[in-house]
Amino acid sequence: MGGQAVVALLAQGLAEGELKLDAEVLDVNGKSLAQAAIELAERKPAVPGEPDWLVATFRAPDLVPGDYWLRVRWAGGSAEAPGTGVSGASRFIIR
């Protein structure tokens, strides 16, 4: 499989400043298979009360064709307490 794709994520309660992302490929049962490269390409700050848009470039490791989960984790400060290490995760099917 391998290759590159653009992914869009929504995250709420993020403060301005550095945001770190990491990604992991899981099998359909949730077992970790490989770390994946992910790079934040753009961050569109939200209006108050709305989530931020995060646009990232995901580079998949070599995988046999099939269904996989992509788990993306982020860490950064929160709007309420900048620098506190607020984090979150999301996962979705990749093919």
Q: What whole-number distance in Å separates Cα of residue 18 and Cα of residue 74?
A: 10
Q: For the segment 65-74, what is each residue's pLDDT rounded down to a tens digit?
A: 888 888 888 7
Can you give the pLDDT at residue 88?
Answer: 63
Confidence of residue 57 (pLDDT cuts 50, 70, 90): very high
**Statement: residue 4 has pLDDT above 70:** yes
| Contacts with 52 (C-beta within 8 Å, 6 or more apart), sequence order | 10, 11, 12, 14, 43, 44, 45, 46
* 76 neighbors 17 (Cβ within 8 angstroms): yes
Cα distances (Å, whole numbers) of residue 82 to 12, 15, 39, 56: 13, 6, 22, 22
The two tokens of residue 89 are: 């995760």
